[in-house]
Amino acid sequence: MLRSGLNLCNNRGIFEIETHFDKIIQSCNNLSSLTQIHSILTTTGIIKHSVHLTARFIIKYSDFFQLQTARFVFNATDHESSSFLWNTMLRAYTNTGFYSDALSFYSLMRKTGVRPNNFTFPFTLKSCAVSLMLSYGKMIHSEIVRTGFGSDIYVDAALVDMYAGCGVIDDARKVFDKMSKRDLVCWTAMITAYEQAERGETALCLLRKMQRDGFCMDWVTIVTVASAVGQLGDAQNSRAVHAYAIRNALFNELPVVNSVLAMYAKCGEVEIAETIFDHTKQRNVITWNTMLTCYTQNGLASEALDLFERMKVSDTDFNEVTALILVSACSYLGSRQHATKIHDFIVQNNVDINLTLWNAIMDMYAKCADLETALRMFKEIPVNRLDVSSWNTLISGYGMHGYGKEALQVYNKMKDENFQPNHITFTSVLSACSHSGLVNEGKKCFSEMEIFSVPKEPKHYACMVDMYGRAGLLNEAYELIKDMKSHANDEVWGALLLACKIHGNTSLAELAADNLFHLEPQHTGYYVLMSNIYADSRNWQEVGKLRGDMKNKGLRKPAAVSLIEYNNELHGFRTGEQLDSLTRDVYEKVEKMVVELKMEGYVPDVSCVFHDVEDEDKHGMLKYHGEKLALAFGLMNIDASLPIFINKNLRVCSDCHSVFKFVSGVYGRKIVVRDVNRFHHFEDGLCSCNDYW
């Protein structure tokens, strides 16, 4: 092929030669053949006369990530005359992700005196958008206006994207509004901008405007719209988007399927997502990842891990996103065995562990009660490579295990190292202080938020209310909420309600509950909590009323499950579970345990039983709380020298908490319990939470 090409040189025109070699260069699938052809065309002098082939080499070298060679080819040309080769080189830098090189190359182009054209700007703007170079982008914007390319539809779409990418969406909108002509791509770019800025409502609003202007969604538009609807968690609109995609034959595009899948996942429609997933014959990594996420986000972490087993035997390769999802599933499960299994798997399969994934793995170990490993991983990162998330992970890790002082030390160290704390840092520090009863320290951190100009969000107030509440400072807590005026959300009132439960303040609790039932009428937890407060004060009438309310609204108390690991498997125990041959021993063990503990001074605390039944029955129900069954199972099966790990999906009740303390003292066992809020480390008859939880 090559030889015949050379022969052509002798008797054919330059155009035919170009087309011929163009085909050869394009079909190169490895670097060495490309280099070979390059050297032949250089020595024969053909390349010198062909701008076209030069451009082709630049692009082809960049396809193999040989940017230096590409630049070398560029430099060897007489490039000062036209913009074309400059544009080509810009394209090479941009498409391979060398954004800062693209921008400095553009600067060089201007310095050399070459005029940019309408093809130049989309590349440079893309580089600005991705590397968040807003000031540079603005400079280019003024050059666009100066050079008279401000009305080019491609250039304007790229400008919209640049401003949106840099987070200044209103500037993006200004460009969009000024356009004299818009096509579908421009509309989609602007809709996407709102979606990325988490302004789903505005995105949908603009979509309707677009449709009134006579444009129909294509598959790219629908992908973006599905994201917006998913963000809003709008189940009604989800079906409409899905139906539109099917009606217009867009559901054949895999990205559409994937984004619709993600949309349903975010709306909590697990079954619909499963159906779509099952009917999708050609899945890619994103399809699998989306389904894994669907399970994880909807609290079905075990299903996610099961699905991963199916993914492994399918012919899909997984990537670092898959790893991240699995790690978060393990964090949710709190299972040490699964955590190490997934970590090993990631290492064995050479998944690229970037800092984000590393931080996520640290967090996973912390949430699986293995703080030592989390700490070791933190220390393995050189200080200059740490990011804010690494610090946040360590702070929250200490916090959830009740090490408030250590969390504060890390926070101070972080400041010493000149890291800027962010909103997550403060959530972690404040909740750490709260869990350890460090009120003064917490107040100090709360006031430091202004120094670092981190806005105070409801979640930060919720931590403060929680902190005051646990310390018995209910008035301070309530005053803080009043300061928030209408900004108080359910998290804040929920924290107050919990404090009222701990300190038995029914009247303030009623006030909090009023607000909560108004803000979140479907949230079962608040009804249960208020009902328990009434039960504490033996106000069975109000308990009955609340239960009636819940029934009328179709709300049910979520089933409590306590998980315990044994023999590389998770065993789940539910309260009052049916007796079967497997659990009979466990029930007997509970009976025996309660008798023994009573001799040591344990008195059952019946106050936390939700149901209004006779006291004798209550003792019965109480004995068979899932966490007690799990504990008995652990005492029977797990070697006495090892700690017992239990993970509960709800808050531990006070009676179980007391039993766990007694067991740790009387039988000399170490017990670690994770509930929805934090970890409890039981040892020598005491708990690390100091009975505040």
Q: Which residue has 């993006």 as its token pair?
A: 172
Are 181 and 167 within 8 A, CB to CB? Answer: no
Site for DNA (CB under 7 A): which residue of 258, 425, 427, 583?
258
- By the 8 A CB rule, do 468 and 434 touch? no
Cβ closer to DNA: 288 or 446?
A: 288
Write the single-letter amino acid at 512: A
- Show the site string, 49-88: x = touches DNA by CB under 7 A, - = not: --xx--x--------------------------xxx--xx
Residues 281-300 that bind DNA (CB under 7 A): 285-286, 289-290, 293, 297
Measured CA to CA in angstroms, residue 43 lies from 16, 37, 47, 347 at distances of: 19, 10, 9, 48
Residue closer to DNA by CB (options 157, 474) is 157
Among 153, 168, 484, 606, binds DNA (CB under 7 A): 153
As measured in angstroms, the least distance from the Cβ of 126 to DNA is 6
Q: Quick one: which H or E segment has residue 242?
A: helix 235-247
Radius of gyration from C-alpha coordinates of the chain: 31
Distance of alpha carbon 292 from the chain centroid: 13
Residues 299, 294: Cα–Cα separation, whole Å: 9
**Among 337, 332, 269, 259, CA closest to 300:** 332
- The interface region with DNA, picked from 102-110, 199-207, 314-322, 616-624 by CB under 7 A, is 314-322
Nearer to DNA, 277 or 573 (CB): 277
91 binds DNA (CB under 7 A): yes
253 touching DNA, by CB under 7 A:
yes
Strand pairing report for 671-674 and 561-566 = unpaired
564: part of which helix (H) or strand (E)?
Answer: strand 561-566
Least distance from DNA to the Cβ atom of residue 157, Å? 3
Q: Does 328 bind DNA (CB under 7 A)?
A: yes
Q: Residue 658 CB, nearest distance to DNA (Å)?
A: 35
With contacts defined by CB under 7 A, name the span among 239-247, 324-332, 379-387, 616-624 that binds DNA: 324-332
Helix, strand or coil, per DSSP, at residue 273: helix
Query: Would you state the structure tokens that stand for residue 397, as one six-digit string?
Result: 């890790």
**Minimum CB distance to DNA smaller for 83 or for 537:** 83
Given 96, 238, 259, 489, the residue binding DNA (CB under 7 A): 259
Q: Which among 427, 341, 349, 353 is positioned nearest to 385, based on CA atoms?
A: 353
Nearer to DNA, 133 or 189 (CB): 189
The rounded distance, in Å, linking the Cα atoms of 533 and 514 is: 14
**Nearest alpha carbon to residue 258 among 219, 215, 306, 304:** 219
| Min CB(473)–DNA separation in Å | 32
Assess 522 for contact with DNA (CB under 7 A): no
Pick the closer one to DNA by CB: 16 or 450: 16
Minimum Å distance from CB 160 to DNA? 8
Q: Can residue 316 be called a binding residue for DNA (CB under 7 A)?
A: no
Q: Closest approach of Cβ 437 to DNA, in Å?
A: 28
Ordered alpha helix ranges (H), 197-234: 200-212, 219-232
Nearer to DNA, 148 or 554 (CB): 148
CB of 359 to DNA, least distance (A): 9
Q: Give the interface size with DNA as a residue count (CB under 7 A).
A: 59
Residues 170-209 that bind DNA (CB under 7 A): 183-186, 188-189, 192
Q: Are 256 and 227 in contact (CB under 8 A)?
A: no
| Least distance (Å) between residue 355 CB and DNA | 10
Nearer to DNA, 290 or 436 (CB): 290
DSSP codes joined into one string, 111-161: HHTPPP-TTHHHHHHHHHHHTT-HHHHHHHHHHHHHHT-TT-HHHHHHHHH
64, 154, 587, 610: which one binds DNA (CB under 7 A): 154
Residue whose C-alpha is closest to residue 442's, from 415, 414, 462: 462
| CB neighbours of residue 149 within 10 Å | 18
CB of 549 to DNA, least distance (A): 34
CB-wise, 224 or 583, nearer to DNA? 224
Contacts of 252 (CB under 8 A, 6+ apart): none
Minimum distance of DNA from residue 281's CB (angstroms) = 15
Distance in Å, CB of 353 to DNA, minimum: 13
Smallest distance, DNA to C-beta of residue 136, A: 17
Q: Is 570 helix (H, G, I), strand (E, B) or coil?
A: strand
Strand order in the sheet with 679-683: 569-574, 561-566, 644-648, 671-674, 679-683, 686-687
At CA 350, angle to CA 346 and CA 352, rounded to 5?
85
Tell the smallest beta-carbon distance from residue 134 to DNA (Å): 16
The correct pick among 70, 133, 155, 304 for binding DNA (CB under 7 A) is: 155
Q: Which is nearer to DNA, 205 or 613 (CB)?
A: 205
- The answer to whether 161 contacts DNA (rule: CB under 7 A) is yes
Q: Identify the H or E element spanning 619.
A: helix 615-623
Between 205 and 244, how does the x/- string for binding to DNA read (CB under 7 A)? -------------xxxx-xx--x--x--------------
Applying CB under 7 A, the span of 4-12, 30-38, 249-257, 648-656 interacting with DNA comes to 249-257
CA dist list (Å): 566 to 128, 612, 671 = 53, 35, 14
Q: Are 463 and 431 in contact (CB under 8 A)?
A: yes
**DSSP label at residue 565:** E
509 binds DNA (CB under 7 A): no
The one-letter amino acid code at 133 reads M
Residues numbered 103 to 132 that lie near DNA (CB under 7 A) are 117-119, 122-123, 126
Site for DNA in 351-370 (CB under 7 A): 356, 360
Shortest distance, position 257 Cβ to DNA, whole Å:
7
Query: Least CB distance from residue 186 to DNA, whole Å?
Result: 4
Q: Both tokens of residue 166?
A: 């840099």
Least Cβ distance, residue 175 to DNA (angstroms): 12
| Mode of pairing for the β-strands spanning 644-648 and 561-566 | antiparallel
Site of tokens 């992908």:
223
**Beta-carbon neighbour count of residue 669 at 10 Å?**
20
Residues forming contacts to DNA in the complex (CB under 7 A) are 51-52, 55, 82-84, 87-88, 91, 117-119, 122-123, 126, 152-155, 157-158, 161, 183-186, 188-189, 192, 218-221, 223-224, 227, 230, 253-255, 258-259, 262, 265, 285-286, 289-290, 293, 297, 319-322, 324-325, 328, 356, 360
